[in-house]
Structure 1
């Protein structure tokens, strides 16, 4: 960085946010960063919402804290309750943080694909973690197996509570009143496209609810995984957790969007590597999927279009997968040389897109 650039950067910094009481109050108000290097076109404005800046490291901090707070205020749970939930990783971290803050016991059910980093963070925050290693024998799905264990634990644990992130209205509400409101207000309601990765569809549903409630003309692009069953897709092999789902959820059923883009595990890797190479943004797998979806649709956008992309988490938990050349070659069949060529290329990704 030269001195001129450094001075310009320093002078454009916003004022520090006001002090807050308690870590949960620090959730939200994440950076919205203009990306001026990612696309070939300089007539399209793109902003990335960096949800890794939340204290627990992901967008799931928002609904995790909201679900626990709402349940406490409604008297559904107390500090004597045991919260039991299924998670692919990030929600578990968010719930562990929220439950630890309120002094509530948490049992989190994950499967063997969950990042070891996230599992360790949950345990460091006091959560008890149960790991499912085999898929449901009927459906062949790990999420179904996790939910079966949740049901078993709820039945055997007195004064227990399932937040049900898959259908709890507090999940999308956290994104409607937080994530999407922040984007909308920062851009003065002037937004043509919003790119949202899907997992349990809480973020997508919340953003949809906000935009529809204000009659915004923003076109919503849902980015789902190949092998996800969320929107009528065919359940298949997915190696990267936290992106897509093996079953449709109550929240996905009620969501709406203008475009649906499906991305593979390799697409996620390429998008993540390109974010690092072009913007020095260290994102997680679904952030990479959002990035390549943006590239796929950019040629169809009118000059002057304004886009926002929600990047759900950071890349630390993916160091052994997305950012490991050996893993990519072993699991995805793409050598380091081939990967470098794909990352450095500026061709339009061959993604499946539709209305």
Structure 2
């Protein structure tokens, strides 16, 4: 005798609607609402860990947020007219965001980059309709970034109707990250320490300023790369992309930081690969660097501290670099696990750092003579 097939009790229609994601009319709706994941053992010690905001769940990464916001704000205020070209310098991730903004608002996009851009990123940008302009010679003082910025100026002169977001100095780059900070508040409730990478300064300033408003005693730890000038180190060769700079972006909010850590490329690779193997959540240079520092903060902070960091993108872009053995062997990136603790220096000008190093005196290198130039040590 056939037994009746048991049927599940229907879920209430209101619950179905609450759980379902709404249909979207534009790709911009795919941005935001990214998950937060607990990163614990074996990346950290067994009783410690930190929370990671996985911005790689956006279509192109964290800079989808700022590209959409900067373009939308420029259209509302008038500098960007309908259909005008967008021209910007980027090492990659902002280019994906601008391609998304171009598709959303109807603007052609030109990305000015350098030979270091990965073939995967070049292919994606081309697929999304962006035009790629590659500079071939670094600037003698400002490196590839300055060379790219000067090429942007040349292209803007040829297209007077074009608009450049100027991610390094545009305050809308900072404002774009208030929603991300609010998401972290909703997801975690309380945050005692924020660990963030620093490149253009946008997401560190945007997230940090909002969270500091809720938590006045919030500890903010900036993560830079060796060879970067942002926090006062001399310019040097930089293999890592997505954090660090050879210029001084004015969006960096030096007064927010309690300390800065510089991380070297082999140390970032070690952390990114370990995350991938043990947690299935990883990314490239920035993710490896911030995870390494957050791991140390989790071990050294009081046990009750709630630590949050931001993983700006996912691993896909880095399959030919961070996660490619031949590439890593060519650049001597493997077999150099980081120390348990960073080196310490008392001032960014003390010496040139070549490995993971920490400093609690944070200064704007362009305002060293100002009475309050050293801001991190005062907190």
Who is 2:79 aligned against? Answer: 76
Who is 1:85 aligned against? Answer: 88
Who is 2:225 aligned against? Answer: 225
Who is 2:127 aligned against? Answer: 124
Q: Secondary structure at the match of 2:252?
A: helix
User: Deviations for 1:257-301, whole angstroms, at most 9, x for unmatched residues?
Assistant: 112110011111011011112212131211000111122333321
Q: How far off its partner does 1:215 sit?
A: 4.1
Q: How far off its partner does 1:89 sit?
A: 0.3
For the 8 Å contact 1:292–1:349, the answer to whether it is kept is no
Q: 1:174 to 1:278 in 2, by over 3 A?
A: same
Q: Secondary structure at the match of 1:181?
A: helix
For the 8 Å contact 1:81–1:160, the answer to whether it is kept is yes
User: Deviations for 1:120-149, whole angstroms, at most 9, x for unmatched residues?
Assistant: 211111111101121013x15110000000
Who is 2:237 aligned against? Answer: 237
The count of corresponding residues between Structure 1 and Structure 2 is 331
In structure 2, C-alpha distance between the alignment counterparts of 1:349 and 1:212, rounded to whole Å: 26
Q: How far off its partner does 1:98 sit?
A: 0.7
In structure 2, C-alpha distance between the alignment counterparts of 1:250 and 1:260, rounded to whole Å: 17
In structure 1, C-alpha distance between the alignment counterparts of 2:97 and 2:118, rounded to whole Å: 14
In structure 2, C-alpha distance between the alignment counterparts of 1:92 and 1:40, rounded to whole Å: 33
In structure 2, C-alpha distance between the alignment counterparts of 1:191 and 1:123, rounded to whole Å: 40
Q: 1:352 to 1:93 in 2, by over 3 A?
A: same
In structure 2, C-alpha distance between the alignment counterparts of 1:184 and 1:97, rounded to whole Å: 27
In structure 2, C-alpha distance between the alignment counterparts of 1:299 and 1:104, rounded to whole Å: 47
Q: How far off its partner does 1:254 sit?
A: 5.0
For the 8 Å contact 1:44–1:307, the answer to whether it is kept is no
Q: Secondary structure at the match of 1:119?
A: helix
Q: 1:45 to 1:17 in 2, by over 3 A?
A: farther
Alignment of 1:1-355 (within 5 A): 15-56=19-60, 58-137=61-140, 139=141, 141-176=143-178, 178-188=179-189, 190-252=190-252, 254=254, 256-331=256-331, 333-335=332-334, 338=335, 342=337, 347-348=340-341, 351-355=356-360
In structure 2, C-alpha distance between the alignment counterparts of 1:96 and 1:298, rounded to whole Å: 37
In structure 1, C-alpha distance between the alignment counterparts of 2:251 and 2:19, rounded to whole Å: 37
Deviant stretches of 4+, over 6 Å: none
Q: How far off its partner does 1:68 sit?
A: 0.6
Q: Secondary structure at the match of 2:110?
A: strand
Q: 1:128 to 1:334 in 2, by over 3 A?
A: closer
In structure 1, C-alpha distance between the alignment counterparts of 2:358 and 2:19, rounded to whole Å: 40
In structure 2, C-alpha distance between the alignment counterparts of 1:120 and 1:257, rounded to whole Å: 37
Who is 1:6 aligned against? Answer: none
CA RMSD of aligned residues (A): 1.9
Q: Which runs of 5+ in 2 are unaligned?
A: 1-17, 344-355, 361-379
For the 8 Å contact 1:201–1:255, the answer to whether it is kept is no
Rg larger for: 2
Q: Which runs of 5+ in 1 are unaligned?
A: 1-13
